[in-house]
A and B are shown apart, each in its own frame.
Chain A
Amino acid sequence: MSLKPSFLQNETTAKLIWPLAALSAIIVFNLLFTPGFFHIEIKDGHLFGSLIDILNRGAPVMLVSIGMTLVFATGGVDLSVGAVIAISGAIAAHIIRPDYVKGVIEYGEVAPLIWVIGIPLLISLVAGLWNGMLVAYIGVQPIIATLILMVAGRGIAQLITEGKIVVFIHEPFQYIGGGFLFGIPVPIVLVLATLVVTYLLTRRTALGIFIEAIGANPKASLYMGIRANVIKVAVYMFCALCAGVAGLIICSDIKAADANNAGLFLELDAIAAVIIGGTMWGGRFTVAGSIIGALIIQSLTTTILTRGIAPEITLVFKAVVIICVALIQSETFRQLIAGHLLKKEAGK
């Protein structure tokens, strides 16, 4: 790797060009056709506007896609993030109002914030540990190992809330989903913090290269003496932790825990974001690309909403965007197109 650093760096940036182009296309479209899209104003010292809204609404997907990128890089996938989101939110709400499911409306003592945040995140880590152990030590394929928690996890979340939507009021906790730090919405701050931590851990230490090595060539990484199993477990735990934070954001934003719908289909959005961002199964990854991917998905959704197009069409758009990006990244497709163009030129 050290032989051609400049060439590699070019490749990494080159990978980001396609997703960036797609994102700019959406933004330019809005610049031309959606009035007030770029209007950002400061109300009571807080930032408001469509662009801020995209960042804010996209925060859960961005968070999960950061974790998912690392899992992808080890050659795995984590389908259970949606269920972990539901569990994390359900536990937080349960700690705030433990007797709600029994029909008690009073609050009792106000639960300290540290428990409300700490315990759900701890449980998320346990969920990640479970996934990681299955994948690394028992050797189950990642899709299936995480499928178990995806099926059972939502059932567990339902069990915690007993199928009810647990509504609550808890001022300090609501700050996570709806508060502002220096005028910036807290979810955005959380995403930035996670991004910085991930960058430092994977690019300023050897961890990132280890992760890529495990995904790109497990055998070679074994001979190099990388402890693949430990790293895999750590990556799955990190992904689940990201999902747990996302769950807290969603739960605190709507001031309720909905075990049925919280994080539903979010795993698909996150996987789509990672793939759009240019990380493929096993090997090199770019967290920045995944963030751009998540932003593409969210700005598509926001654009469709602000343009007044029926929001149902969002799913179709997502499908078309993902398949186009996947095709562009497929070598066979590129060669097909290239061959077609060459033939045309030869014909002339």
Chain B
Amino acid sequence: MKIRLNQKNIPLFATIAVFFLIYAIGGFMYSGFFSLRVFANLFIDNAFIGIIAIGMTFVIISGEIDLSVGSVIAFIGVLLASLVHDYAMHPMLAILICLVFGALFGCAMGCLIHFFQLPSFLVTLVGMFLARGLAFLLSLNSIPIKHPFFEELVDFGVQLTRKVWIPSTAMVFVAVFILGVYLSHFTKFGRNAYAIGGNEQSAILMGLPVGKTKILIFTLNGTLCALAGVVYSLYTMSGYPLACVGLELDVIAAVVIGGTLLTGGVGYVEGTLIGVLILGLIQTFITFQGTLSSWWTKIVVGVLLFVFILLQRYLSSAYSGKDMRSEETASDQGGQASAGATKEASR
């Protein structure tokens, strides 16, 4: 039992090792890389990615996927900006409306996935189109956000040292992270999510509230997306309908690099935090390097994603004690056969 648990943790340890490796290389190559300020900036610049990545961790742990996050952020940004700028609404109320919208959006997608047995990939793809389209409908251009309340929000923060300052957005990220850790380890909701991802059939047979949990997971994810949208618009002080194209891939990459198994059932919110920080480090590294073009980020992220997926494959076959090949075919067939079974049953 103890060995199995340790093996489950290997991806997490590998992630932490990679983080320190990149951090160490950066520190030796460039002066100032080790400073607290650079480290704090990791949290500030990646706050919005981190907030969604934590929602996405729950979605992936339960064996589903959400492709709509980038578009939802863009839509929330535009909605917030136009409510404040065009309708002169108080930002507090506007932010509340945004969060409620995010929750409803996520809840609707969860309902479609659960009640009509549609694949989550398809439903969230539609969500992606819809959110982006709605954002375009609201405005085609970038809308600036100018409101004293917003400036206060942005200026609100804690001065750690003379040079290091933690703004409210980074604090929101840390708060969401703590909430995620609490939900995943200490609540029924978290345990149900793991159980559904591990084996949905077993979860149903055990009498767990599968449907309710799934819908709740998507509602949580939608709310966190909206929150990330608010944080993002605080970060850029504007709402832009073309913002965050392709962000969902970065988020999924962060979750996978953080050691969450894509087949569901295994993963940690803590790992996701490290995954997000690794993405941030790669970007910082490339900024410090100066001559590398920014699209190297994408290539490095792709390579890291590949390495971690290979690691996951190797480990998941290692702990079942069988040889790799037979495990592969078995797990493949397990997934597809059950999909086939539901299809047959529905005919």
Q: A106: shortest Cβ distance to chain B, in Å?
A: 25
Is A190 in the interface zone, CB < 8 Å from B? no
Say which residue of B133, B245, B249, B347 sits within 8 Å of A314 (CB atoms).
B133
Contact with B along A306-319 (1 / 0, CB 8 A): 00001011111111
- Pair B118/A152 contact, Cβ less than 8 Å: no
Is A163 in the interface zone, CB < 8 Å from B? yes
- Pair B129/A318 contact, Cβ less than 8 Å: yes
Closest to B117 in A: A332
Contact with A along B249-268 (1 / 0, CB 8 A): 11011001000001100000
When chains A and B are docked, how far (Å) is the Cα of A122 from the Cα of B303? 22
When chains A and B are docked, how far (Å) is the Cα of A222 from the Cα of B302? 32
- Report chain B residues within 8 Å CB of A316: 129-130, 133-134, 137
- Pair A144/B302 contact, Cβ less than 8 Å: no
With A155-B297, A282-B340 already in contact, the answer to whether A312 and B119 are too (CB < 8 A) is: no
With A268-B129, A315-B136 already in contact, the answer to whether A148 and B336 are too (CB < 8 A) is: no
Is A327 in the interface zone, CB < 8 Å from B? yes
State which size class the interface on A falls in. 35 or more
- Pair A155/B122 contact, Cβ less than 8 Å: no
Of A133-141, A239-247, A250-258, A288-296, the one touching chain B: A133-141
- Pair B340/A330 contact, Cβ less than 8 Å: no
- Pair B245/A148 contact, Cβ less than 8 Å: no
Q: Chain A: interface secondary structure?
A: helix
Closest to A316 in B: B133
Closest to B297 in A: A155
Is A217 in the interface zone, CB < 8 Å from B? yes
With A151-B253, A315-B129, A332-B117 already in contact, the answer to whether A140 and B313 are too (CB < 8 A) is: yes
When chains A and B are docked, how far (Å) is the Cα of A163 from the Cα of B292? 12
Say which residue of A75, A216, A314, A319 sits within 8 Å of B126 (CB atoms).
A319
Is A179 in the interface zone, CB < 8 Å from B? no
Most buried by A among B112, B297, B329, B340: B340
Is A283 in the interface zone, CB < 8 Å from B? yes
- Report chain B residues within 8 Å CB of A280: 343
- Pair A282/B339 contact, Cβ less than 8 Å: yes
Is A66 in the interface zone, CB < 8 Å from B? no
Top 8 closest A-B pairs, CB basis?
A: A152-B302, A315-B133, A155-B298, A312-B136, A316-B133, A139-B328, A319-B129, A319-B130
Q: Which residues of A contact B (CB under 8 A)?
A: 75, 77, 138-141, 143-145, 147-156, 158-159, 162-163, 215-219, 222, 264, 268, 271-272, 275, 280-283, 310, 312-320, 322-323, 326-327, 330-333
